Structure 1
Amino acid sequence: MSEAAVLSLAIARADFADPADAAALVAVLDAYARDPMGGGEPLSADVRERLAPALAAVPGAFAFLARIGGEAVGAATCFMGFSTFAARPLVNIHDVSVLPGHRGKGVARALFAAIEAEATARGACKVTLEVLAGNHRAKNLYASLGYGDYQLDPEAGNALFWQKRLT
């Protein structure tokens, strides 16, 4: 990233009630949803309309926006959780997205620094996230930041993230 771009990169907590922040968050998440790593489909009009108010209603939800020169180029949405084994809060990163033209320039690293500072301020014992096995670029970034899969007992294998969709 050029010195000028570094100087203009700003990471700030998103205000879900602020129309500009809400629109920026939706736009970045929609770009992520359209990407093959986000499923390759745009967010529906209904989701685009409901997303920011719905996030505002979730206790412990927070997000960061990355802007360069005032333009939103990245976002991260996070949720507070709880570790029963540590009896402390944790932060789960649900989405991290950087617009294609800004990838590889330190935007995601800056978002992670903000998330980790927020997690520390909230007394979290860890930060968790999920990543697609084939998303090598993201996995390389996350590993370089100290993230990795885990296991409690080598004989039981690595932890997996599963889901069941409910209608």
Structure 2
Amino acid sequence: MDNVALFKEVMGNYPTGVTVVTTVDENGTPLGLTVNSFASVSIDPLMILWSIDKRVSSYEPFTKADKFAVHVLADDQGDICSLFAMKGTDRFGSCEWKTSEHGLPIISGALGVLQCKTHQVVEAGDHSILIGEVIDIVSEQKDPLLYHRRKFGKIPSEFYK
């Protein structure tokens, strides 16, 4: 196996949570995509990061946006994960959402939503890393949606025993 295949194998075996990141473009049109490259960065100030592939159609609007929202998906939101990972579909026409007081599209049902102002965009190979300062937080008591081996699902109940 070459290094790219080995890298994909190792990373595919690393379970992560699943998020959908949303923003609006310069015309106010809502944009969103499924992201599993998400992490906390800082407590003081509250900061997070996520990465975006330079080849996606929404790359430029996301990297130029002054704010974005990260939705940590709940275990019953597999349909939202798939919807925002698909190309050529009306994502926001196929889910329940509203515009927040910060002007961001917020998808209903997430276990948590972090609204952020863009702090920094860092070039990193074929992706860019967006670092955001958290300006608003919503949290619900739900279980997370997980991504592992190119599939998503919930934490098995035996995990909690």
TM-score, length-scaled by structure 1: 0.28
Which one has a larger percent helix, Structure 1 or Structure 2? Answer: 1
Higher RCO (CA 8 Å, separation ≥ 6 residues): 2
Which one has a larger percent strand, Structure 1 or Structure 2? Answer: 2
